[in-house]
Amino acid sequence: MARPVTLFTGQWADLPLATLAPKAKAYGYDGLELACWGDHMDTARAAQDPEYCARQKKVLADNGLGLWAISNHLVGQLTLDPNDHRSDAWVPAAHASSAEKKRAYAVEDMKRAARAAKNLGVKVVNGFTGSPIWHMIYAFPPTTPDDIRDGYKRFAEVWLPILEVFRENGVRFALEVHPTEIAFDLYSMQLALEAIDHHPAFGINFDPSHLLWQGMDPAELIYGFPDRIFHVHIKDVSVNLNGRTGILASHLPFGDARRAWDFRSPGRGDVKFTPIIRALNTVGYQGPLSVEWEDNTMDREIGGPEAAAFVHRIDFSPPAGGSFEDAFKR
């Protein structure tokens, strides 16, 4: 059975949900992954008001769309981020002037997201954690093993209470393994799991684009954590290491042709999706394949429907009746 193909609404949050839903259906999507900003999902309301949840779901249902996950990336980042001026707009104005006020707000909002998901009848909240040690990625000024351990200890102090709320509500948190997060590759994900004693509510929102430009084989993250793949993003990236720039991207903005890498509409970059689908089949993942559409050189009205058709085309199910070799035995 083919997996549902959904659209993450984060890059479409400028559109009201009532406008986006019929558009997404016309594009060919089976559902939406609602971002917790714009008017798509209000965590505070959803955590307390089942009628609000029913209204948001009705907008989807009226357009033949399902809901399998919500995503609270922006607020999640604030739980461990240094929280400077760049994220002031992500919180109510009363919290924007203080890093610690932003952090406190974010911690409570991630708990609200778990309760909202329960009220919506979905089992996964995707998002970020931020990181207190990302700025130490290059070890100068010199770092010590204790510096890194302290960073993961801080992650556990902040996130274990959040994850307990997730567990109490029967919902799981899927971290998008991503630079600037507490886990950005296979080994840092291992450290994160060890720090929280492999809490059952903590797993992965798999996004191959962030892994490929780092030089990883994205499928290895799936094989490395077969029971922690809670959700999947389909996003592409083009890598152009031409001798002038490296993977740190030279402070060049997205969309600048001089960058060594940039995000692309699915199928228009360098990600090899067939090995990823095979890996997902191997570990038994049957959740949605959610397009996170980012491409600064393509109109989204072209990219949106093209991406839906691409994902429907590349997905395939594992054999239902065993190996093809079984036919010889019969």
In the chain, the percentage of residues whose pLDDT exceeds 70 is 97
Distances (CA, A) of 30 to 70, 208, 267: 15, 21, 19
Give the tens place of pLDDT for each residue, 65-120: 999 999 999 999 999 999 999 999 999 999 998 999 999 999 999 999 999 999 99
pLDDT of residue 319: 84
In a domain, 100, yes or no: yes
Q: How far apart are CA 174 and CA 4, in angstroms?
A: 18
Q: How far apart are CA 266 and CA 12, in angstroms?
A: 16
The whole model's pTM is what? Answer: 0.96
pLDDT of residue 327: 61
Number of domains in the chain: 1
- Fill in the DSSP letter of residue 4: P
* 239: exposed, middle or buried (Cβ count in 10 Å: 0-12, 13-18, 19+): middle
In a domain, 143, yes or no: yes
**Neighbouring residues of 77: CB distance < 8 A, sequence distance ≥ 6:** 87, 90, 106, 127, 128, 129, 130, 180
pLDDT of residue 320: 79
In a domain, 311, yes or no: no
In a domain, 178, yes or no: yes
- Domain extent for 137: 72-206
Note the maximum CA span of the chain: 71
Residue for token pair 């986006």: 20
In a domain, 27, yes or no: no
Q: Give, rounded to a whole angstrom, the gap between the first and last alpha carbons of the chain.
A: 24
pLDDT of residue 274: 98
Instruction: Looking at 28-66, list the stretches that DSSP marks H as alpha helix, in order from N- to C-terminal side.
Output: 43-48, 50-61
Distances (CA, A) of 103 to 97, 158, 316: 11, 10, 42
β-bridge mates for residue 287, sequence order: none
**Neighbouring residues of 39: CB distance < 8 A, sequence distance ≥ 6:** 16, 17
- How would DSSP label each residue in 258-285? TSSEEEE-TTSSS--HHHHHHHHHHHT-
Residue 9 — pLDDT band, cuts 50, 70, 90? very high
**Over residues 142-165, mean pLDDT:** 98
Q: Please, what is the Cα angle at 79 between 159 and 13, to 5 degrees?
A: 115
Distances (CA, A) of 218 to 204, 211, 232, 271: 13, 6, 12, 8
- Fill in the DSSP letter of residue 62: T
Q: Please, what is the Cα angle at 43 between 37 and 48, to 5 degrees?
A: 150
**Over residues 268-280, mean pLDDT:** 98
**Over residues 261-274, mean pLDDT:** 98
Whether the ω angle into residue 218 lies within 30 degrees of 0, i.e. cis, is no
In a domain, 158, yes or no: yes
Residue 277 — pLDDT band, cuts 50, 70, 90? very high
Q: What is the CATH number of the domain that holds 88?
A: 3.20.20.150
In a domain, 168, yes or no: yes
Give the tens place of pLDDT for each residue, 235-245: 999 999 999 99
Q: How far apart are CA 197 and CA 209, in angstroms?
A: 28
Residue 133 phi, psi (nearest 5)? -125, 10
In a domain, 211, yes or no: no
* 14: exposed, middle or buried (Cβ count in 10 Å: 0-12, 13-18, 19+): exposed
